[in-house]
């Protein structure tokens, strides 16, 4: 599996997403509370672009008359028919056993590490003392 740099962390603020195309696949990258998750930007139901869906939470209830709103910002609701998916895993809440969105591993890497090439020039310490440049060779 090849690796691709698709954005800076600043390009995708918390609670938003960015759509990128990698090897012909349109992929939506979401920032959920500072963690990044990526999945195919196509709903498995009828193909809506999931990047336009609402990011919501889950409402849980153990008995009539009581409910709890949990996991705010972790669930994506499809913009066409409202199917809901766990952004962290791509799993559907409609039919968890058989329906999910293809997801891709996403990670944060330091920029300097990514641009570091395989070759290294010989370097010498340099310092400035009283207006003179001094090299240590």
Backbone angles phi, psi at 51, to 5 degrees: -60, -20
| Helix runs in 35-124, H state only | 111-115
DSSP 65: T
Contacting range for ligand FES; rule: CB under 6 A; set: 10-18, 25-33, 73-81, 97-105 = 73-81
Choose, by CB under 6 A, the member of 29, 32, 38, 43 that binds ligand FES: 43
Determine, following the binding rule CB under 6 A, whether residue 102 of this chain makes contact with ligand FES: no
Round to the nearest angstrom and report the end-to-end CA distance of the chain.
43
- Residue nearer to ligand FES on the CB measure, 31 or 41: 41
Residues in the site for ligand FES, rule: CB under 6 A?
A: 43, 45-48, 78, 80-81, 83
């Amino acid at each position: 599996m090849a690796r691709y740099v698709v954005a800076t962390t600043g390009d995708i603020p918390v609670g938003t997403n960015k759509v990128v195309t990698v090897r012909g696949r349109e992929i939506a990258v979401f920032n959920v509370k500072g963690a990044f998750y990526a999945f195919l930007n196509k709903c498995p139901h009828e193909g809506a672009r999931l990047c336009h869906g609402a990011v919501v939470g889950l409402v849980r209830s153990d008995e009539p008359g009581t409910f709890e709103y949990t996991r705010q910002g972790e669930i994506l609701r499809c913009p066409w028919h409202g199917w809901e998916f766990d952004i962290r895993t791509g799993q559907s809440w409609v039919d968890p056993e058989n329906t999910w969105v293809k997801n891709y591993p996403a990670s944060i890497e330091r920029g300097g590490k990514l641009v570091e090439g395989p070759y290294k020039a010989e370097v010498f310490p340099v310092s400035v003392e009283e207006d003179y440049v001094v090299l240590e060779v």
